[in-house]
Amino acid sequence: MKSMLSIVIGLAATGVIGAETIKLPAPNNDSGVTVMQALKARRSERAFSDKELSLELLSGVLWAANGFNRPDRRTNATGLNKQEISVYVIMKTGAYRYDAKGNSLVKVCDADLRPAIAAQQSFAATAPVSLLIVADVGDPIYAGARSTLSNYDAGIVSGNIYLYCAANGLATVCRRSMDNDALRKALKLPDTTVLHLNHPVGYPAK
Ligand SMILES: Cc1cc2nc3c(=O)[nH]c(=O)nc-3n(C[C@H](O)[C@H](O)[C@H](O)COP(=O)(O)O)c2cc1C
């Protein structure tokens, strides 16, 4: 599998890096282990190697988190099928929104926001990638009794990330901690959004 470094060098050579959109390879639906083996391996890990993720693995974990597995439905269930969850990819080279339909990353910020993801837990900034789970609850259905619906939906995305990582030899941890204000500002997230959880993802430290 090509390393992220070689991809970064390749992209730089072709002038794609820093581009507004990075096209992801198709997720490999034959990768991983059995569901039972993944459940056995699932755990929170907080020590990461500095080895970069390949675009293939990034594509896979994003598809597992919030991708389309049917023409208009996703790998993650959502209450009332509102599909209000978006996943942002926080990397050294900038921050991107996962465009699940286009299987691509759309750049939203040039800065390295991993320190804002880490906040008081510096280990989180050492992972090459963090996935930020955001819900847009601007729809009036989220008023009143349904105000917490997106919390559950975010938890399902988190579970999918844990399982993909466990099945593919990656380390991750679900985190509520982060600098919400800094991330909201840098990612230009509207007031109707809730920043629920984040997942540093990388290879486990040796
Ligand atoms: C909603 C939620 C929020 C969490 N927030 C954090 C966090 O901010 N920082 C952290 O290090 N771990 C966080 N965790 C991870 C838990 O500490 C971890 O899942 C728990 O200790 C059980 O360990 P295990 O996942 O290995 O079974 C969170 C987990 C959940 C489900």
Residues ≥6 apart with Cβ < 8 Å to 149: 79, 80, 82, 137, 142
Ligand 1 site residues (CB inside 6 A) read: 43-44, 46, 121, 173-177
Nearest CA residue ID for atom 7, ligand 1: 175
The string of pLDDT tens digits covering residues 21-57 is 999 999 999 999 999 999 999 999 999 999 999 999 9
Residue with tokens 């390879």: 25
Q: Bridge-partner residues for 195, per DSSP?
A: 134
Exposure pattern of 38-51 as b/e (b: 16+ CB <10 Å)?
Answer: beeeeeebbebeee
Percent of the chain scoring above 70 in pLDDT: 91
> What does residue 179 show for φ and ψ, rounded to 5 degrees?
-90, 90
Cα-to-centroid distance, 35 and ligand 1 (Å): 21
Ranking 9-18, 58-67, 180-189 by mean pLDDT, the lowest is: 9-18
Taking the C-alpha atoms of residue 128 and residue 92, their distance in angstroms, rounded to an integer, is 7
Confidence at 140, pLDDT banded by 50, 70, 90: very high
Residue spans of the domains in the chain: they are 4-202
pLDDT at position 9, please?
A: 40
Cα-to-centroid distance, 85 and ligand 1 (Å): 20
The string of pLDDT tens digits covering residues 163-199 is 999 999 999 999 999 999 999 999 999 999 999 999 9
pLDDT at position 10, please?
A: 39
Asked whether the beta carbons of 87 and 65 are under 8 A apart, the reply is yes
Taking the C-alpha atoms of residue 59 and residue 53, their distance in angstroms, rounded to an integer, is 10
Q: Bridge-partner residues for 88, per DSSP?
A: 97, 132
* First CA to last CA distance, the chain: 19
pLDDT at 1 over 60: no
Confidence at 206, pLDDT banded by 50, 70, 90: confident
pLDDT at position 14, please?
A: 35
Asked whether the beta carbons of 201 and 130 are under 8 A apart, the reply is yes
The string of pLDDT tens digits covering residues 72-119 is 999 999 999 999 999 999 999 999 999 999 999 999 999 999 999 999
Report CA 123 to chain centroid distance, whole Å: 17
- Is the Cα dihedral 57, 104, 188, 14 positive or negative? positive
Nearest CA residue ID for atom 1, ligand 1: 176
The string of pLDDT tens digits covering residues 89-99 is 999 999 999 99
Closest CA to 103 of 73, 68, 131, 70: 68
Taking the C-alpha atoms of residue 65 and residue 134, their distance in angstroms, rounded to an integer, is 12
Cα-to-centroid distance, 156 and ligand 1 (Å): 14
Taking the C-alpha atoms of residue 7 and residue 5, their distance in angstroms, rounded to an integer, is 5
Give the CATH number of domain 4-202: 3.40.109.10
Cα-to-centroid distance, 65 and ligand 1 (Å): 17
Taking the C-alpha atoms of residue 79 and residue 146, their distance in angstroms, rounded to an integer, is 9
Cα-to-centroid distance, 44 and ligand 1 (Å): 7
> How many residues are there in the chain?
206
Q: What is the mean pLDDT of the segment spanning 113-132?
A: 98
More confident residue, 61 or 14: 61
Q: Which of 46, 153, 173 to mutate to test the pocket of ligand 1 (most atoms within 8 A of CB)?
A: 173
pLDDT at position 18, please?
A: 52
